[in-house]
A and B are shown apart, each in its own frame.
Chain A
């Protein structure tokens, strides 16, 4: 072990403990990106719509959870579950009011509507909740750290990837093995034909938005626990990162989104870890990565010619 450590240090200029710490940091950040990216990619897969308001829906969840605990004195688990349900409802309303009226309009209109919805939510949050940041409720049993040798790990670091995998498996089951999932796939292929064949298109799209938003909500709660500070514009960066993760994985592809999330999270941490002088440019790294992917492999690393939808 000692020898291995010495060789490792010689090769990388970093001791093994530090490297492992970086790796766990990267996995934990990556799984957060993945959770948010799944919702992004799912909505794209069904509607071919880049839902720019996804990050803001994510932000709203943290406020729902915050007020549940601080104003309504609910236990954290009740408040969190309620916040997830409310976010699902918000996603459905968003689709009903901002996207459904434009479903037959050119794609660009619905995209502009998404940008508008994003600004609406951000500004609404400033008016309703104020511009000053608030502290997200902390849950000691999840946010404590444990010590493994020289590596110190927050319990949340284990919880987040497990939650991500559970939701990934659940979602894949829903899409591939249930009637609702079949309807979603039909709508994704061609919603007009699906409607003629008796699929309730409005209901199916509503369900897609509810599930996509609830996934963002789960991601938001994990995000809030890890970075316990909430503000009206907090969803912008995670939203963009999740979008990048989704594109890296091949937008529209759920497994791809998860892979993209991990690549982005671990990549960001490692670039700071190995090149500390570049640590101010980590966001730039993410965007450069996006440009490179779009230039050389626009369908994402899952590499299918036409990304598998939903």
Chain B
């Protein structure tokens, strides 16, 4: 009996490892054969966090990528096959997931990842393997810097930091701002720095940032950091970071009696931000890429119609639109290259100009970054609502 039980447990263990351990899932809804012979399919890798702290963000992007794949399942007369790997919201896992895509799956191009740190972890791998990669929403400038194979369809943090500093200064009349940053996230650190630079310039006051507090990815208790900042009496708190920690952080700030506005960046636009933060995140303001209230291009209309048909009563998040854009930008480059060869795709990606995506026109600059307007949103009555739009130039 004992033996039977222990065999059962070991079987379960092995089963669980197989089920989740090395999560390479091949998503080929339209593939006619099970074979991965490169003759009749073009493989595009999808490199996103499906588990861990960023899972919800990754899921939103994948939603957009799959939607685009459904609308545009073919290019050059060949089926496009998505190969999804889970980078587990972990920098180490991210590089092995990226290696798997380029070495084992031999994909022609890659989309991803939510989270600048995760994208940067894959940077050297895709550069060495010469596989063009398009990030949907990774905003840290370093993702594409000195990397000819990394592109993105969103704006970068120097712009986002400036937008939020401007907003705090002119709309919220802030003179003193406190910052809480996620010290293990390149995104959060970068955005804090750009915000700080712009805000000091706007106020002309070198001491306009009254306090900076740090926390780590995965932390749940922020009471000590917030108590310190409360004693500094800021007008506004800027807290760029992952939605997982940010919603708890805002909740604890309100419980500690901090009443000033709390503002952040694009990573907050995830349903879990509201479901966890509930009434505490009411009024939270952040910048993002796109709003379904203001469709920009004919492609936006097409994307919105298809999204609403698939998800009645739900409005798409900005990163879903960007995931969609990353896919169609790659498809466009493959079309222009007239080949599934990675290097040819990369050459065409680099010259993408005035391409109509769901989240706006895309022109990639010499670093491979898109220049786009920012949208400011606020949580109102438990929903993300459009507040303002800030032109890129």
Contacts and interface: CB of A to CB of B under 8 A. Distances in A.
Interface of A: 14-15, 18, 21-22, 25-26, 28-29, 96-98, 100-102, 116-117, 119-120, 123-124, 126-127, 130-135, 138, 143, 145, 147, 152, 154, 227-229, 231-234, 237, 268-270, 272-273, 276-277, 279-280, 282-283
A273 B251 CA distance: 19
B225 A272 contact: yes
15 contacts: A21-B223, A26-B224, A101-B2, A119-B17, A120-B16, A123-B16, A127-B16, A132-B59, A133-B244, A135-B278, A232-B51, A233-B51, A269-B223, A272-B228, A276-B212
Interface of B: 2-3, 5-6, 8-9, 12-13, 16-17, 19-21, 50-53, 55-56, 59, 183-184, 211-216, 218-221, 223-225, 227-228, 230-231, 244, 247-248, 251, 254-257, 272, 275-276, 278
A298 B213 CA distance: 34
A185 B216 CA distance: 41
B257 A272 contact: no
Nearest to A272: B224
Given A116-B13, A120-B16, A269 B214 contact: no
Nearest to B18: A123
Nearest to B220: A227
Contact of B221 (A101, A126, A227): A227
A10 to B, nearest CB: 16
A123 B251 contact: no
A153 B19 CA distance: 44
A280 B184 contact: yes
Contact of B276 (A120, A127, A229): A229
A152 B220 contact: no
Given A120-B16, A228-B276, A272-B225, A152 B214 contact: no
A126 B20 contact: yes
Contacts of B5: 96-97, 101
A25 B276 contact: no
A26 to B, nearest CB: 8
Q: Give the interface centre of A14, A127, A131, A154 by most chain B CB atoms within 10 Å.
A: A131
Contacts of A97: 5-6, 8-9
Given A21-B256, A29-B223, A276-B228, A228 B21 contact: no
A123 B20 contact: yes
Contacts of A15: 231
Contact of A14 (B13, B17, B216, B231): B231
A112 B122 CA distance: 33
Contacts of A283: 216, 219
B282 to A, nearest CB: 14
Given A96-B5, A123-B21, A229 B225 contact: no
List the 5 closest A-B pairs by CB distance, nearest first: A131-B51, A152-B257, A272-B224, A280-B183, A280-B214
Given A145-B257, A279-B213, 18 more contacts: A29-B223, A96-B5, A97-B9, A100-B2, A102-B6, A116-B9, A120-B9, A123-B20, A123-B21, A124-B16, A131-B50, A131-B52, A132-B272, A152-B257, A232-B51, A272-B224, A273-B227, A280-B214
Nearest to B278: A138
A29 B221 CA distance: 8
A229 B247 contact: yes
Nearest to B23: A126
A269 B244 CA distance: 21
B249 to A, nearest CB: 10
Contacts of A26: 224
